[in-house]
Amino acid sequence: MRGQKATRNGTDGIKLVRISPYDSRTVHGFEKRNSKSGKERTGKIRYKGMIVAAAAIMTLIFACFGAVYFLMGDGTGNRQEISETLKGKLSERKVQGPVEVPKEEVVVLADEQHTPRVAIDPGHGGWDGGSVRGDILEKSINLQLALLLKEKVQALGLEAVLLREDDDTHLSLEERVQLAQEAKADIYVSIHQNAYDSKDVDSVSGIETWYYGDIQGSRRLAQLIHKGTVEKTGARDRELRNTDELYVIREAAVPACLIETGFLSNEEECMALASPEYQEKVAAGIAQGIDYYFNPKTMYLTFDDGPSEENTAAVLDILKAHDIKATFFLVGENVAKHPEMAQRIVEEGHTVGIHCYRHDYKQIYASVDAYLEDFQKAYDIILETTGVEVQLFRFPGGSINNHNKDVYEEIIARMTENGYIYFDWNASLEDAVSHSDPEQLVKNGVESTRGRKKVVMLCHDIVYNTTQCLEDLLDSLPEYKMEPLTPDVKPIQF
Ligand SMILES: [Zn+2]
């Protein structure tokens, strides 16, 4: 249990069964109207009235969660706490509405001058055993996991500082933070075990990870460690949560998180946590999170078919809030319609590439000359509008498609001769070919990365649902650092 938690009303924590971020979002207060352009579609939304109904349904859903939570609470909860918890849940959830601007996350990268140092804090120790089950003490499990983690962190080429090396040592919370600071740790990872004190103890198990949201990078660190540990152990994914009540992660002054790797109150989970095999998995999961924290994979977000007025603006707002640069393969005709949006893309530091002038497969791929003529037109209007001499491009439909079989080889040869570089993609939201809702788009995006180290993600900034899924997509991919394409990036080509 979290020794550092200031116990309020006698509770040790909020025992809320984790709810997937999407569970409550099955209601979308809009309908779609499609304007066709080739095979790709633009979603336009009518809110009127529907949002009121959606809000009413959301309220009902949360009222139900409230009742369930109250019934299965830890026996010490009161109504005040419950409503606060639900308020917290509501504000965390991204419901339809204006884009919520999250805190900027910092990606700390390993470099050659400085080897990142990880402070590993095994919770409790000395007279403070933490949670107990029979002769199994939380402080000992925490230490065993910490020792394993130290080895794994060192094997990654990182430095590890263990805040206590034996079970007899007791450290105050202030001493822990001070030790980490003196050691010049770059991140702080606290390891704890949970306990549930109610009659039905065996019904509760799984992993919870806590962070303090005001320290930049903490959320990402917590996400990665949580994700890694859930993946490696197969344990129940309870929740990832922001709190200001845990001293060590609040005061650490560096990105920090506290993971409760399981419940000693649950018989099965307690036995697992005490076994070397399971401990190995837990430590491997935490180590994987730490590895991705310092050595993220790379993703190039690419947006085709724009600019459009509202949807491109929404995409740009989200990218700006996250300090992410992406790549936009523009359609010349749309640049002519929304020149200010093309200019905004450039002003905000994104890479601009050419998709085509007119998104009409038959016309573009009628012949090599037809393609080159369309491309030149797009080049000219982008240069005229933004001042950018574009070097990167993406074929409508990708470099090899059903429309260009007879001409693509020669087009590629001619374009390459002229110094242009084309990018296909190796992951996709499938947002232009389906009517999928935002949660399905996120799923498509995440699954199609297949864990690759370098991903070029195909998205469409003219699709409304893409703007609605982008926050969740970014939140689902903490192991990736987002970069804009440049001529120096080795292209992904079919
Ligand atoms: Zn396209």
Taking the C-alpha atoms of residue 206 and residue 186, their distance in angstroms, rounded to an integer, is 27
**72 and 219 co-located in one domain:** no
466 within some domain: yes
Query: Separation of 417 CA from ligand 1 center, angstroms?
Result: 23
- What pLDDT digit, counting tens, does each position of 454-480 carry? 999 999 999 999 999 999 999 999 999
Residue 126 neighbours by CB under 8 Å, 6+ apart? 139, 167, 168, 169, 170, 171
Question: Which runs of E-coded beta strand occur in 394-445?
Answer: 421-422, 427-428
Query: Separation of 472 CA from ligand 1 center, angstroms?
Result: 23
- Examine the pLDDT at 173 and tell me if it is beyond 50: yes
Instruction: With H, G, I as helix, E, B as strand and everything else as coil, classify residue 483.
Output: coil
Q: What letter does residue 335 receive in the DSSP assignment?
A: H
- Which amino acid is residue 325, in one-letter code? K
Query: Separation of 310 CA from ligand 1 center, angstroms?
Result: 18
Residue labelled with tokens 């980490």: 180
Query: Separation of 425 CA from ligand 1 center, angstroms?
Result: 12
Among 261, 278, 294, where does a domain finish?
Answer: 294
46 within some domain: yes
Query: Domain containing 194 — which CATH number?
Result: 3.40.630.40
**79 and 135 co-located in one domain:** no
Bridge partners of 257, per DSSP, are 189
411 within some domain: yes
Residue labelled with tokens 């037109």: 377
Q: What is the pLDDT of residue 111?
A: 54
Residue 161 pLDDT grade (very low, low, confident, very high; cuts 50, 70, 90): very high
Query: Separation of 324 CA from ligand 1 center, angstroms?
Result: 22
106 within some domain: no
Taking the C-alpha atoms of residue 480 and residue 300, their distance in angstroms, rounded to an integer, is 9
Query: Separation of 296 CA from ligand 1 center, angstroms?
Result: 29
Q: What is the pLDDT of residue 267?
A: 94
Query: Separation of 422 CA from ligand 1 center, angstroms?
Result: 14
Query: Separation of 443 CA from ligand 1 center, angstroms?
Result: 21
**242 and 128 co-located in one domain:** yes
261 within some domain: yes
pTM, whole model, 2 decimals?
0.74
**304 and 346 co-located in one domain:** yes
Query: Separation of 432 CA from ligand 1 center, angstroms?
Result: 8
**278 and 307 co-located in one domain:** no
Q: What is the pLDDT of residue 216?
A: 80
**329 and 436 co-located in one domain:** yes
- Examine the pLDDT at 483 and tell me if it is beyond 60: yes
Query: Separation of 352 CA from ligand 1 center, angstroms?
Result: 14
Query: Separation of 477 CA from ligand 1 center, angstroms?
Result: 24
Bridge partners of 162, per DSSP, are 120
Q: What are phi and psi of 60, to 5 degrees?
A: -60, -45
Query: Separation of 327 CA from ligand 1 center, angstroms?
Result: 14
**191 and 214 co-located in one domain:** yes
- What pLDDT digit, counting tens, does each position of 133-146 carry? 999 999 999 999 99
Query: Separation of 396 CA from ligand 1 center, angstroms?
Result: 5
- What pLDDT digit, counting tens, does each position of 4-56 carry? 443 333 333 333 332 222 222 222 222 222 333 333 333 333 333 444 445 55
Residue labelled with tokens 């090899």: 400
Query: Separation of 365 CA from ligand 1 center, angstroms?
Result: 13
Query: Separation of 359 CA from ligand 1 center, angstroms?
Result: 7
How many residues can be counted in the chain?
494
Query: Separation of 348 CA from ligand 1 center, angstroms?
Result: 22
Average pLDDT, the chain: 83
Write the DSSP string, 21-87: TTTT------EEEEEEETTEEEEEEE-TTHHHHHHHHHHHHHHHHHHHHHHTS-S---HHHHHHHHH
Q: What is the mean pLDDT of residues 238-259?
A: 96
**194 and 163 co-located in one domain:** yes
Among 294, 321, 354, where does a domain finish?
Answer: 294
Asked if residues 225 and 290 have their Cβ atoms less than 8 Å apart, the reply is yes
Select from 420, 406, 330 the least CA-distant residue to 368.
406
Query: Separation of 251 CA from ligand 1 center, angstroms?
Result: 48
- Which amino acid is residue 175, in one-letter code? E
Query: Separation of 304 CA from ligand 1 center, angstroms?
Result: 5
Query: Separation of 326 CA from ligand 1 center, angstroms?
Result: 16
Residue-wise over 368-382: b if at least 16 C-beta within 10 A, else e?
beebeebbebbbebb
Query: Separation of 329 CA from ligand 1 center, angstroms?
Result: 8
- Examine the pLDDT at 94 and tell me if it is beyond 60: no
Query: Separation of 334 CA from ligand 1 center, angstroms?
Result: 12
Q: What are phi and psi of 391, to 5 degrees?
A: -115, -25
Taking the C-alpha atoms of residue 93 and residue 25, their distance in angstroms, rounded to an integer, is 9
Asked if residues 289 and 224 have their Cβ atoms less than 8 Å apart, the reply is yes
Write the DSSP string, 225-282: HHHHHHHHH---EEEEEE-S-BHHHHHSSSSEEEEEEEETTSHHHHHHHTSHHHHHHH
Query: Separation of 360 CA from ligand 1 center, angstroms?
Result: 9
**348 and 284 co-located in one domain:** no
Query: Separation of 328 CA from ligand 1 center, angstroms?
Result: 11
- What pLDDT digit, counting tens, does each position of 303-340 carry? 999 999 999 999 999 999 999 999 999 999 999 999 99
Domain that holds residue 77: 31-92
Query: Separation of 340 CA from ligand 1 center, angstroms?
Result: 21
Query: Separation of 272 CA from ligand 1 center, angstroms?
Result: 51
Asked if residues 125 and 143 have their Cβ atoms less than 8 Å apart, the reply is yes
Rg (CA), the chain: 26
Select from 356, 383, 391 the least CA-distant residue to 372.
356
Query: Separation of 31 CA from ligand 1 center, angstroms?
Result: 23
**ω into 307 cis (within 30 of 0):** yes
**75 and 203 co-located in one domain:** no
Query: Separation of 128 CA from ligand 1 center, angstroms?
Result: 61
Residue labelled with tokens 């959606």: 54
Instruction: Note every long-range contact of 102-106, with CB atoms under 8 Å and residues 24 or more positions apart, other chains counting.
Output: 102/321, 102/322, 102/471, 103/213, 103/214, 103/216, 103/219, 104/216, 104/321, 104/322, 104/323, 105/216, 105/217, 105/219, 105/220, 105/322, 105/323, 106/216, 106/217, 106/255
Number of independent structural domains in the chain: 3
- Number of Cβ atoms within 10 Å of the Cβ of 338: 19
Query: Separation of 401 CA from ligand 1 center, angstroms?
Result: 12
**260 and 217 co-located in one domain:** yes
Q: What is the mean pLDDT of residues 252-273?
A: 97
**199 and 332 co-located in one domain:** no
Query: Separation of 95 CA from ligand 1 center, angstroms?
Result: 29
Query: Separation of 356 CA from ligand 1 center, angstroms?
Result: 8
